[in-house]
Structure 1
Amino acid sequence: AIFTDKEAMLRTFQRIKRDPSIINKQISYEHLTNLNERLDIIMNASEERGRYLEFEELRWKVQKLFVQLEFFIMELDKKQGDINQTEKLYNEYQRKIYDEKLHINIESLLPELTRRAQHYSQLGKKDDHISREFNAYCENIRKTMKNFNIDLKTKENMLQETINNWKIYHNLYDSLEKWLNEGEHVLRRSSDEKLVSVLK
């Protein structure tokens, strides 16, 4: 704010009471030029720094959410041991994706992040390396999120299918166990009992 209007600041400084030793003394043109150049450098640097910090502030918000999502996708890639583990992971999926809306929150921040990267790139005096880094970061997040969205839907379907398969397995296992128990009970009966049950 202090550097936005040099003319107003100049008038303010002219009204300040001066040391008597410098009153009516001429300031050299070179010295004034040097001071003006230094002020220009400070003004340009402050604008560049401000836009840099604006981008960084939002980048770390995005990065915090992105790392959570990335870690969760790695968890989804691990094999589950039983139906309880699979159901627990599916509930976690529901919470993170549908309740917390992790991926939607990241995507909602991307347009503003891209705008801030472009805002930095439009500066007259900027660090070109940082500008390229900002734009590359935005592009990388955008592409990765596109892949994550496809991956998340696939993983949701796989979790649902795995849970259904576990239920089928348990139902079949229970039926098999019941059949084996009944067969074992039949085999243990004496010949007379077997004959009576056949005659019935």
Structure 2
Amino acid sequence: MPLLMALKATDNSSNNQEGCNPLKEDRLISRDLKIWIEQFERDLTRAQMMEVSLQEKYQSFKHCRVQYEVKRKQVELAIQSVRKDGKLSLDQALVKQAWDRVSSRLFEWHLQLDKSLPAPLGSIGAWLFRAEAALQEEIIFHQAHEETANMIHRKLEQHKDVLKNLDGYKKTFQEIHRTQSVNGVPVPPEQLDDMAERFNFVASTSELHLLKMEFLELRYRLLSLLVLAESKLKSWIIKYGRRESVELLFQNYISVIENNKFFEKYEVTYQILKKSAEMYAKANGSPEEIEAVVRFMNETTTQWRHLSVEVRSVRSMLQEVIANWDRYSSTVASLQAWLEDAEKMLNQPEHAKKDFFRHLPHWIQQHTAMNDAGNFLIETCDETISRDLKQQLLLLNGRWRELFMQVKQYARADELDRMKKDYLDGVAVLSAFTDEANRKFSVPLEVSFLNVKMFVQEMQASFFSFSRNFILEDVGN
């Protein structure tokens, strides 16, 4: 067991003679530690209650803190869980409870000693504790990135508020430290030296701490946007349902992406994060930390490059699904109604059938549009709806095929009628042009350069007018 190897209290000779029982040894170690901690707490209480000078009180505190630090690693090893579920045994829990209690007592004593110093040093000592606590405070990461970012933001604002007084307090303290007194009242030099070290720690790490907090807040802001995009993408890229449900998805997309300006928000967050990351990495200077920051920025850039393309494509996809539902519904409704009438027309006289089926090419186009839209929906909708669509198309296509085999000749007849009409219209236009040309040629013309020029221009205008009308009629048909 690593714990038994780490603790000096282990009796190796006894283990060799009587055999090793790790659980029993752990309990003995925990019991001994608990006894020591309880005795240490009693000593701590007595030392705090002693009526002595400031310097003697601080010496007592230093002595207790040395004992505390000597025992710290041993206690931390002893309260590490060795169980799979991470829980502590009862003995470990009792040791931890006692250790937390004396840790708190020692911290409070230290704070009390600093606060009891003559003003303004007492206020500076109280501030120094708050500053140290801010710099050493652990960040609690939540499951939701947005919640983590909000928590870091609150802490960052609190820490900024505390650390803004650094320069003023440091200047005042340095003067007191130089004179070793406050308004002529001597201050324990050792206590001042300890405070000076702590001031140096706060001064040297505060800027980096704030930069790190800003970077972490923006990091989790960005991650929350990425997670939101991924989760929404999973809800949008699915096997779709009926038109109404697809419309709801589309409205949700519009709300999340467009109304909330999602892409703009991501870009702004990313650019601010990029600057913050550069400043933090530069101030940190650690190769490992710089590498970690660069790796994170590269990974998120790559992730967003692919994710943004997919998110942008969702809009057109949802619109296409909705459009195909509309196309399919309208063509099915109109084709069903037309088939009802068409099937009844099969028993009518030839001239009636010919008149009814003269628009057959239009219904051929409708039939093709219905199948295109239906097949698209079969591929993109869920299994139940796809099965219903297949069944509906099977029935309609069966009716269409049976009818079309009996009336397909009318599609050609309708085309011939249109060609005949186009021909007659063209002949009429050409005849009008030739009649007008003959009329102009039969009118006597006084020969002169100006008259000939005007005659040629009139003929050219008539020809161009005829050509334009003929071409327009051809395009219209």
TM-score range, shorter chain: 0.7 to 0.9
Q: Distance in 2 between matches of 1:138 and 1:178?
A: 60
Residue in 2 that maps onto 1:191: none
Q: Secondary structure at the match of 2:241?
A: coil
Of 171, 176, 179, the residue aligned with 2:330 is 171
- Structure 1: which amino acid aligns with 2:297? C
Residue in 2 that maps onto 1:16: 182
How is 1:118-133 mapped onto 2 (pairs within 5 angstroms)? 118-123=278-283, 125=284, 128-133=287-292
Query: Contact (CA 8 Å) 1:110, 1:138: kept in 2 or not?
Result: no
Residue in 1 that maps onto 2:268: 108
Q: Distance in 1 between matches of 2:226 and 2:322?
A: 27
1:12 and 1:57, CA in 2 relative to 1: closer, same or farther beyond 3 A?
farther
Encode CA deviations 1:46-78: one digit per residue, 9 max, x unaligned.
Answer: 222211111112222222232222211121211
Query: Contact (CA 8 Å) 2:236, 2:314: kept in 1 or not?
Result: yes
1:169 and 1:71, CA in 2 relative to 1: closer, same or farther beyond 3 A?
same
2:301 matched to 1:142? yes
Residue in 2 that maps onto 1:190: none
1:168 and 1:50, CA in 2 relative to 1: closer, same or farther beyond 3 A?
same
Q: Distance in 1 between matches of 2:236 and 2:166?
A: 52
Q: Distance in 1 between matches of 2:313 and 2:274?
A: 28
Structure ranking higher on relative contact order (CA contacts 8 Å, 6+ apart): 1
Encode CA deviations 1:77-111: one digit per residue, 9 max, x unaligned.
Answer: 11211212222211211222211111220111111
2:237 matched to 1:71? no
Query: Contact (CA 8 Å) 1:97, 1:103: kept in 2 or not?
Result: yes
Query: Contact (CA 8 Å) 1:114, 1:135: kept in 2 or not?
Result: no
Residue in 2 that maps onto 1:93: 253
Encode CA deviations 1:90-135: one digit per residue, 9 max, x unaligned.
Answer: 1211222211111220111111111111111111x55544443333
For this pair of structures, how many residues does the alignment match? 184
Q: CA deviation at 1:180?
A: 4.3
Alignment RMSD (CA, Å): 3.2
Q: Distance in 2 between matches of 1:96 and 1:52?
A: 30
Q: Distance in 2 between matches of 1:137 and 1:110?
A: 12
1:126 and 1:48, CA in 2 relative to 1: closer, same or farther beyond 3 A?
farther
Q: Secondary structure at the match of 1:80?
A: coil
Q: Distance in 2 between matches of 1:12 and 1:103?
A: 55
Which structure would you say has the larger Rg?
2
Q: Distance in 2 between matches of 1:137 and 1:20?
A: 53
Q: Secondary structure at the match of 1:122?
A: helix
1:130 and 1:8, CA in 2 relative to 1: closer, same or farther beyond 3 A?
same
Q: Distance in 2 between matches of 1:77 and 1:52?
A: 37
- Structure 1: which amino acid aligns with 2:224? K
Query: Contact (CA 8 Å) 2:229, 2:311: kept in 1 or not?
Result: no
Query: Contact (CA 8 Å) 2:208, 2:280: kept in 1 or not?
Result: yes
- Structure 2: which amino acid aligns with 1:67? V
Encode CA deviations 1:8-54: one digit per residue, 9 max, x unaligned.
Answer: 541255573364575xxxx59xx95x765554333222222211111
Residue in 2 that maps onto 1:53: 213
Query: Contact (CA 8 Å) 1:48, 1:126: kept in 2 or not?
Result: no
- Structure 2: which amino acid aligns with 1:73? L
Identical columns (%): 21
Deviates more, 1:61-70 or 1:71-80: 61-70
1:20 and 1:37, CA in 2 relative to 1: closer, same or farther beyond 3 A?
closer
- Structure 2: which amino acid aligns with 1:88? L
Give TM-score, length-normalised by structure 1: 0.73
